[in-house]
Structure 1
Amino acid sequence: MSAPEPPLQQFEFVLRLAVALLLAVGCWLVLRPFFSAILFAAVIAVSTRPQYHWLRRRLGGRERSSALLACAIVSALVMLPAALIAASIGDALAWLLGLYDDWSRGGLPALPDWLLATPLLGPWLLDYWQQLARGELLASGTADYLAETLRGLALNSGRAAGNGLLQLALALLVLYYFYVEGDRLAERLHRLAGRIGGALGPELLGTARNTVVSVMVAIAGTAMAQAMVAVLGFSIAGVPAPLLLGAATFLLSMVPIGPPLIWGGAALWLFRQGDTGWAVFMVLYGLLCISTVDNVVKPFLISRGSHLPFVLTLLGVLGGLAAFGLIGLFLGPAILALAINLSSHWLALIRPAGADHDAPHT
C-alpha cells in the first residue's frame, strides 16, 4: 500500500492544474474572435500538405516562397467563387430592378393559364396579381417595404463582405505560418498526443487528419458531380454556354448557396425569353437533381474516406453545419470519427475482462 502524498505536494499539483486551466481559458478568450480563421487555415494546411511539399520541391526547397505562392493560389480559389457570387447577385438585382421598371410603365404581364388553373393556388394568385396590377398593394406601403428590405439587404451584404475579407486575410496569414512551420508543428502535435493519450494519441490524430482530408476530397468530388448534372440540365433546357455554366457551378459548389445562383439565373433567363415551361423545368431540376447531389454524394464520399457509416456521416455533416457553421462540415464528421475510435478502443480494452467473466467454468 503506497503512502499518501504530503499535503505540500497535493497543493502544488492543484496549483499547477489551476494555472494550466487559467492559461487555457485565457488562450481561448484571446483566440476566440479568430477561431474560424484559424480552423479554416488548419483545414487547408492539413488537406493540401502533399501539394505544398510538391510545390516546395519544385521551388528548390524555399519554404517562404513556396508558402507565399501556395497562399496566393488558395486566395485565388476562394476569391473567384466569391466574385462569381457577387456578380450573380448584382445581375439578379439589376434584372429585378429593370423588370420592376418595365412593369411600372407597361403594366404586369398576364399569368399563364396553367398557373391560374392550379388548384387552391391559382385563384389566390390571380386575385393578388390583379391587386398588384391596380397598384393597391404598392399604395398600401409594399413599395416602401421593398425599398427598405433592399436597403437592409445591401447593408448586410456589405457588412458580411467586409467581415469575410477580414477573416480571409487572417486565415491566409495563419495559413502562411502553418505552411512554413507545418513539419515542426506536426512533430509537436504527435509528441503532445502521445503524452496525453499514450499509444492511442497519435492514432486519434491520424483519424482526425484522415477525416479532414476526406471532407476536402468529398467537397471536390461533389462539386464535380454537381457540375456534370448541371451541364446536362442546361443542355436539355437549351441554356446557352452550358459548359461555362457548369464550370461556374463547380466553383460555386464550394459555397452552400452557390449552385442555386447559377441554375436560378438560368431559370430567370429562360423566363425572360418567354420559355416559362423550361424555366419551371430548370427550377425543379435544380431543386431535385443539382442540389440533391450535395446531400447524397458528399456524405457518401466522406464515409468512404473516414470509415464512418453513411448515416453517421450524414448526421455529422448536417449537425456540424447547424452547430458550427461552414467549418462544422469538417468538425462534425471528425468529432464523430474520434468518438467512435475512442469507444472502439475502450471496448477492446474491457472485452477480455468481460470474456473471462462470462466464460463457463470447467
Structure 2
Amino acid sequence: MIHRPPAPNSANEQKLQRAASAALFAVLVLLALWVVREFLPAVAWACVLAIVLWPAYQAIERHPAFRGRTTWLATVLTVAIALLVVLPIALMAIQAGGEAHDLYLWARTAQENGVPVPDFVSHLPFGSRQVSDWWQANLTQPLKESPAMKGLHGDAIVSFGRHFGARAVRASMTFGFMLVTLFVILQAGPRLSATVMRGARRAFGADGAQLLQRMAAAVRATVTGLVVVGLGEGVLLGIAYMFTGVPHAALLATVTAIAAMLPFCAPLVFCGAALWLAAQGAIVGAIVLAVTGVVVVFVAEHFVRPVLIGNSTRLSFLLVLFGILGGATTFGLIGIFIGPALMTVLMVLWANWAE
C-alpha cells in the first residue's frame, strides 16, 4: 500500500484557520484581561510612570555607576516615586495630628454650646441679615440639638468612616501593586521597549510603531504639563498665603500644588483659605487671596498648561482641554493622561486619511 502525503490546505481553509486563530487569541486576551481586571488600574499607572521616567532612565543608565545594573536603577527610581507620594501624605498626616487636639476641643465646645455668629457676617455687603438669621437658627444653639446636624447621627458617621477606610485600603493596595509593576517594567528596561516596538511594527507596520511613539510622547507631555503647572501654582499661591496671613502656608502650598496637578482643583484650596480669612475678619486679605488665585489659575489652566502639552503633542488648545477633561470624566484620574494620547491618535489618523 502506498501512503500519499496529505494534500496541502486550500486557500479557503488557510483563511478559516487564520480567522479561527485570531478569534481564539482575542478570546484568550479578553479572558486574561478579565482575570486581572482588579489590577488594571495599577498596571495603567505603572505604564504612565514608566513612560514619563523613560528619558531619565536612559540618561541615568548611561552613567558608569548604573551601566548594566538595571535592578539597582529600577529600585532607585521606584523608591523615588514612592517617596514623592508618601512624604507629602505623611507630612499632612503629622500636621493634622498636631491640630487634632484643638479640633477635638472646638468640636466638643460646639456640640455643647454651639458656634457664635462670626463678626464678618455683619460686614457682608449683602445678605447679612439672612445669613445671620440662618446661623442663629441652626448653629448658635448646641449642635447636638441643631436641625442642621440631625443627619449627622452616630450611625452615619460610623458608616462614613468605614467607607473611607475601605477606600483608603483599596488605594493603598493599588499603590503597592503599582510600585511592584513599575519596578518590573523598569527592570526589563530596553529589552521590554524593543519588544514592544518590534511587536507594534509586526502588527501594524511602521505607521503603528510611529503612532505608539506619538502616544507615549503625549502621555509624557501631559504629565510634565500637569506637574510643572501644579508646582508653579503651588509656589505662587504659597507666597499669597504668606502675605495674607494664612496659617501653615507651606503645608497649604503643598496641598495646593497637588490639587493643581488636577485641572481646576486648585480653587477648592485657595477659596477655602479665603473663606477662613473672611471668617477671621480679614476681608481685605480674603479678597486679595481670592483674586490672586483666580488670576493664577486662569492663566495656568487656559494658557500655560495647554501650550506645554500642545507643543509636544502637536495638538491645539481645544483638543488638549477636551482630552484632559473628557479623559478624566470617562476613565477617572488615569484618564487625564489617556485623553490627550487618544486625541493624538485621532489627529494622526485624520492626517493620514486626509493625505
Q: TM-score, normalised by structure 2?
A: 0.83
Shift in alpha-carbon separation, 1:218–1:138, aligned structure 2, 3 A:
same
SS at match of 2:115: coil
Please state if 1:35 is matched with 2:31: no
Task: Give the 3 Å change call, closer, same or farther, for CA 115–97 of structure 1 in structure 2.
Answer: farther
Counterpart residue identity of residue 141, structure 2? G
Residue 132 of structure 1: which of 125, 131, 138 is its match? 138
Provide, for residues 186-213 of structure 1, a one-character-per-residue CA deviation record: whole Å limited to 9, x for no partner: 1122112212222211210110111011
CA contact (8 A) 1:204 1:338 kept: yes
Deviation of the 1:18 alpha carbon: 1.7
Say if 2:138 and 2:147, in contact at 8 Å, map to a contact too. no
Q: 1:207 aligns with which of 188, 209, 214?
A: 214
Identity across the alignment (%)? 26
Q: Sort the Cα spacing of 1:81 and 1:252 in 2 relative to 1 into closer, same or farther, 3 A.
A: farther
In structure 2, what is the Cα distance between the partners aligned to 1:43 and 1:168? 13
Question: How big is the shift at 1:113?
Answer: 6.1
Whole-Å Cα distance in 1 between the matches of residues 153 and 288 of structure 2? 29
2:192 to 178, 185, 197: 185
Identify which of 166, 174, 199 aligns with 1:159.
Answer: 166
Given that 2:237 and 2:293 are in contact with CA atoms closer than 8 Å, whether structure 1 keeps it comes out as no
* Amino acid across the alignment from 2:43: I
Deviation string, structure 1 residues 250-308 (Cα, Å, up to 9, x no partner): 35544679756764674576467x33415643773476245545633333321121110
Root mean square deviation, CA, Å:
3.3
Tell me the alpha carbon deviations over residues 223-257 of structure 1, each in whole angstroms, 9 at most, x when there is no partner: 23202320332133133564565455435544679
Pairwise CA distance, 1:326: 1.0
| 1:64 aligned residue | 71
Structure 2 partner of 1:146:
152
1:24 aligns with 2:23: no
Per the alignment, residue 340 of structure 1 pairs with 347
1:175 aligns with 2:182: yes
- 2:36 pairs with 1:45: no
Q: Does structure 1 retain, via aligned residues, the 8 Å contact 2:234–2:256?
A: yes
Q: Partner of 1:59: helix, strand, or coil?
A: coil
How many corresponding residue pairs? 343
Query: What's the CA shift for 1:104?
Result: 4.3
* Deviations 1:329-348 (CA, angstroms, capped at 9, x unpaired): 11000001011111101211
Shift, 1:15, TM fit: 1.4
CA distance in 2, matches of 1:55, 1:104: 57
Which of 302, 311, 327 is the equivalent residue of 2:334? Answer: 327
Change (3 A) 1:104 1:158: closer
Per the alignment, residue 355 of structure 1 pairs with none
1:59, distance to aligned residue in structure 2 (A): 3.0
Aligned residue in 2 for 1:351: none
**CA–CA separation in structure 2 for the residues paired with 1:279 and 1:156:** 37
Residues 131 and 137 of structure 1 are in contact (CA less than 8 Å); yes or no, is this contact kept in structure 2?
no
Q: Name the CA shift for 1:206/1:107 in 2 (closer, same or farther; >3 Å).
A: closer
Distance in 2, Cα, partners of 1:268 & 1:183: 51
Q: Which of the numbers 208, 218, 224 marks the counterpart of 2:231?
A: 224
Work out whether residues 46 and 181 of structure 2, in 8 Å CA contact, stay in contact via their aligned partners in 1. yes
Is residue 71–residue 176 contact of structure 1 (8 Å, CA) maintained in 2? Answer: yes
Moved more, 292-301 or 110-119: 110-119
**SS at 2:332 equivalent:** helix
Structure 1 residue 12: deviation in Å? 1.3
Residues 157 and 207 (structure 1), Cα distance of their counterparts in 2 relative to 1, 3 Å cut:
same
Aligned CA distance change for structure 1 residues 110 and 137 (closer, same or farther; 3 Å): closer
Residue segments in structure 1 that go unaligned for 5+ positions in a row:
349-362
Instruction: Give 2:287's aligned residue.
Output: 281
Q: With the length of structure 1 as denominator, give the TM-score of the two structures.
A: 0.81
